Structures are given as C-alpha cells and as structure tokens.
Chain A
Amino acid sequence: MASLPEQAVRPRPRTQAPKARTRWAELVEPYLYLAPSLALLAIFTFYPIVRSIYLSLFLTDPLGRPRVFVGLEHYANTLSSTFLQSMGVTLLFVFYTVPVGLLLGLALALLAHQPLRGTRLFQLIFSSPLAVSAAIGSTIWVMLLNPVSGILNYLLGYVGIGRVHWLTDPRWALPAVGMVSIWLRLGFNFVLMLSALQNVPEELLEAAVVDGAGFWAKTRHITLPMISPTLFFAAVVGVIHAFQVFAEIDIMTSGGPSNATNTVVYRIYQVAFRQYEFGAASAQAILLFIVMVILTYLQFRLGERRVHYQ
C-alpha cells in the first residue's frame, strides 16, 4: 500500500491528444468530481476554522453572534484562568493513559501472535473493546466502580484494599477514568500492533533463531525495531486521542470532583454550551489546537530519531 507520490503530481501523458470538442468538458470535469467534497469541506471545515479564529476575538451574545471586539483579551484571560489547571489535568491524563495503553497493546499483540492453536479466538477477544463505544463502556464501568455495590471494590477487598471512592475522591477520579479509557482503547492498540507484527518478515526471525537468539533477544533486536514506526504512530495518535477525551468524562464524573477530571475539551464544552460564551470557548479551542500541534511536533522531533524505517 505504499503511496506513489510522483504519480500524484505528474500523470502519464495521454496517448491521444484530446479533441477540441471534448476539451472544455475535460477542463471542467475534474472539478465536478471534486465539487461535492469541496463544497462540504468548505462549509463544515474551512469556514469553521476561519470563523473560530474570528469568534475568538469577540464577546458574543448567547446566540453566538459577535458583539464587542475584544482583540486578544480572551487569550489573555484564558492563560491566566483555570484553563491552565485544565491543561494540567489533560497532560496528566495523557501521561496516565498513553504509555500504559501502548505497552499493554504491545504485550497482548506479542502474546496473541504466537503460533498456537486458538489464537484467533484470543485475537478476537483482545480486539473486542474496539466495538464498545466510550458512552456504553463508561456506563458499564460506572457500575463496576460503584464504591458500595461495585465489583471492583469487592475484588480488591480480597487483597485487603479498603473501599475506594473511585469517581468521587479527587485523588482517584482521574486515574479511574484513565483506566476505563485505557480499556476502551486497548482494542485499537492491539489490532494496530498485531498487524505490524504480522508484517515482520519470517525469514529474519528464523535467521535469528539459527544464530541462537531466544524470545527476548529476538523481540528486542528484530521485532521492536521493525515495528517501531507503528509504535510511533500509535503514540502520536494516542496522545491526540487522549487530548480529545470527552464521553468518559461526561458520563463518569462531569469534570468533578472539584475539577479533578475537568479536561480542556470538557471545559470548552462547558464554557460554550453551558455558559454560552462562544468567543472565550473559541479562543480556548484554538489554544488547544496550538498545544496539540506543538506536542505532535515535539513527538516527531524526539521520536523520529529512534524509529527504524525499512
């Protein structure tokens, strides 16, 4: 599936010169093919980007109409407000979920990739969270995490851990939501890593065995370097995804207790659709975008060096 970039830019010269009659049609036709996508993207992607930037410079009325030009005031307010606390919560959430999620996905993929009878069944089970939406998964976990009747506290009681108020204790709420998020995301990470493992050339591994390499040596010196582009991709996408977490927060904690799970996206939602301050919320959305771009750039700068491409 490697892309063919040269072909994209320079198509082959046509074998027949177009007749004059069809010339006009040929000139217009490509744009007709592009028109539906272009029109929809213009209305629902290009225009909103510009509109967001514009709105972020205004005080808006509750209907979202710009009323008073305030320049960069929203940005200044945002940077000195609880927005920074939300950014801290978001970064902590990324830190809790992304590395653990990657490692678990990789471990499961390594386990399920072994040539054993019945691995197909395990592969299906490991990818099953892929079909569980964040809303339904969170609903199920609200029940599992109930401090009194929930099964998790009951099981932890066996190992002598007392009752934890998972979603109402400010110390535990973010890790608890993170745990659910890791579970929800596990199917994606697993499927991604498994397909990368399946692309590692068999001959390389066999050659290593002939040279006397054991499981760990093979994994460390062949498998991991070979799948490092996928690991890198999973890390970048994982960070972006963690930054955008919403349904889990809304269903399990609504940003509480005492803002312990109030991530940036949840905050933008509250400012825009609870307080109807569309201008301020737009400024926050754009700041979020800038932070995401910077983080992705840093990941590329730091990560690319360690990634081995074929």
Chain B
Amino acid sequence: MSVRNPLGRLLLYLLLTAAALVIVFPLLYAVSISLMPPAEVNTFPPRFIPSSLRWANYAEVARTVPVARYLLNSLVVSAAVTLGQIATASLSGYAFAFMHFRGRAALFALFMSTMMVPWEVTLIPNYLTIRSLRLLNSYPGLILPFLATAFGTFLLRQFFMQVPRELEDAARIDGCGRFRFFWSVALPLARPGLLTLGAYTFLSTWNQYLWPLLVTNTRLMRTVQIGVRFLMNEEGMQYHRIMAGAVLCLVPALLILLWGQRYLVRGMMAGGIKG
C-alpha cells in the first residue's frame, strides 16, 4: 500500500488535512465570529480571527433572548423522549424476542410496516390531535407523539435476541418471575442496545425542527432549533450575536456525539437507522 512510501504518506496527510479544514471550517468560523468585536464582523476583506476575544457577545445574546430557557426546553423534551422510548421499546422488544403469544407475527409485521410511513403522513392528524387536547405550547405536546417507535422496538428486539434463552429457562426453574428476569437479567445484558437507542433518540429529538415549529408559538416554549431560527429575526444581521447563540446551542449536541459516537456506529450497522 502507498502508505509505506513517504511521498504517498505525505500526500495522504495533505488530503486528510484539506478535507478536515473544509468540513470543520463553518463551525470554527462560527465560533470565531461569535467572539469578534461587532466592528470586525462585516469588514472587507473579512477577518478570520478576532483581534481580541469579546465574550460579551455571549452575555448579550443571553440577555436579549432566553437561550437558557431554549436549552432547558430542548433538554427536558429530549431527555423525556429518550427515557420514554427506552422504556416502551425495551418492554415491547422484550415481548417480541422472548414471549410466545397469539398474533405475535402479525403484530410484529404491523409494527415493522409503520417504519415505511413517512412522518409527513402523520403530521397533520397529530397536530390536530395535540391541538384538540389543548397541548400546544406544552412539554407533553412536544413529547407525547415520540414516546414509542417501531424502530426502537425493532432495535432492542435485535439486542434481546442475543440473550441466551437457556438463561431464562434456568432463572425460571429457580423461581424467578418473568418481570424480574426482564428487569435484572435481560435489561442489563442489552445495555449496549439501550445506549445505542438512547444516543440516537436524544440526538434526533434534540435536532427536531418541524414538529416544535408547529406546536410552539410562544417565546418561552421554543426549543433550541426554533430559537436559533428566530434569533435571525430578533438580532437582524448582528452575526456576532447570532453565532454566539448558535454556538451555545451546538455545544450540548457535540458533547453527546463525543460520548455516543461508537454506540451510534454500532447501532447503524445493527438496525439500519432511519435518516
């Protein structure tokens, strides 16, 4: 392989560095703008690096828009959806993997078929349902429609299938109840699956856009993604403040990615995560 000769290796490093710069440039530039004194933002030729770091941009954006509240809203919604999905999907995934009951094959097929249905088809009726329950501008309105998914059930079923059935037989003979086996043996063994589903669900809920745009219209109920969108209206073309807000909203997701990357990789190969 070309890696053995020094010239090839140099070329490879050059390519890798060039690609990395192009990919990460928008993020670094956003951070750079977020720290620039306002006078340097729209100069020509443009500046890449601020002459001095102006942390006040962050304080200003936090004063004019409730960024902390956006972050809290997104955190509450994402955490609730994540925990809820892990709960509902582990129960149903376990039932499909371990239990025998009438209509199991048909029910499983019914679950799986919903994975094909695009979200747009359910969007309008779900909006009407949430509105008629008077749940617009509320956490339940943001959370409820996402508490159970066929995908989560399928993914966890795949992990439960790897738990040896002999284990259950042995536990049952020793007088261990169904639920106790599920709770104290199967669930801990399926931990990688729970973490995969958790990382994926948290990130995708955190990044939701259309649903929170529809069901929230008060300032204090906006999530991070909707808040960032309205930041542009509220701040005009004040890019230094808009970018300060954007960077604040970006950091939690970056941290989750750093922590969950390997689980995501595994999960993608396992279940074929939907885009």
In the bound assembly, the distance between CA atoms of A14 and B117 in angstroms comes to: 37
Interface string of B8-28 (1 = CB under 8 A from A): 010011011001100110110
CB closest residue in chain A, given B178: A29
Chain A residues within an 8 Å CB radius of B229: 135, 139, 250-251
A16-B172, A48-B122, A215-B1 known; A269 vs B210 contact (CB < 8 Å): yes
Residue-wise interface mask of B (161-183) relative to A, using a CB-CB cutoff of 8 A (1 in contact, 0 not): 11001000100110000100010
Whole-angstrom distance between the alpha carbons of A3 and B96 in the complex? 13
Across the interface, do A143 and B20 meet the contact criterion of CB distance under 8 Å?
no
What residues of B have a CB within 8 angstroms of the CB of A281 in the complex?
124
Q: Convert A276-291 into 0s and 1s, putting 1 for each residue whose CB lies closer than 8 angstroms to a CB of B.
A: 0010011001101100
Which stretch in A33-41, A76-84, A169-177, A300-308 binds the other chain?
A: A33-41
Q: Are B124 and A131 in contact (CB under 8 A)?
A: no
Given contacts A37-B88, A132-B27, contact A149 B44 (CB under 8 A): yes
Chain A positions 114 through 127: 1 when the CB is less than 8 Å from some CB of chain B, otherwise 0: 11100100101111
Contact residue among A195, A247, A265 (Cβ-Cβ distance under 8 Å from B225): A247
- Residue A12 interfacial (CB < 8 Å): yes
Against A, the Cβ 8 Å flags (1 = close, 0 = not) of B37-80 are 00001101110000000000000000000000000000000000
Please state if B95 and A114 are interface contacts (CB–CB under 8 Å): no
Q: Is B128 close to A, CB under 8 A?
A: yes
Q: A133 near B209 (CB under 8 angstroms)?
A: yes
Residue B121 CB within 8 A of the other chain = yes
State whether the Cβ of B268 lies closer than 8 Å to any Cβ in chain A: yes
Q: Are A140 and B27 in contact (CB under 8 A)?
A: yes
Which residues in A have their C-beta under 8 angstroms from that of B207?
133-135
Can you sample 22 A-B contacts with CB below 8 Å? A1-B266, A11-B99, A14-B169, A33-B94, A36-B92, A36-B148, A41-B148, A45-B117, A126-B19, A132-B253, A133-B249, A134-B207, A139-B228, A139-B232, A139-B242, A140-B27, A140-B246, A143-B239, A154-B46, A194-B265, A240-B274, A293-B116
Question: Which residues in B have some Cβ–Cβ distance to A below 8 Å?
Answer: 1-3, 9, 12-13, 15-16, 19-20, 23-24, 26-27, 29-30, 33, 41-42, 44-46, 87-89, 91-92, 94-101, 104-105, 107-108, 111, 114, 116-129, 131, 144-150, 153, 157-158, 161-162, 165, 169, 172-173, 178, 182, 203, 206-207, 209-210, 213-214, 224-226, 228-229, 231-232, 239, 242-243, 246, 249-250, 253-254, 256-258, 261, 264-266, 268-270, 272, 274-275
The interface of chain A, by Cβ under 8 A from chain B, is 1, 3-4, 7-9, 11-12, 14-16, 27, 29-31, 33-34, 36-41, 43-49, 51-52, 55, 64, 108, 111-112, 114-116, 119, 122, 124-137, 139-144, 149, 151, 154, 183, 186, 188, 191-192, 194-196, 199, 209, 214-215, 233, 237-238, 240-241, 243-244, 246-247, 250-251, 265, 268-269, 272-273, 278, 281-282, 285-286, 288-289, 292-293
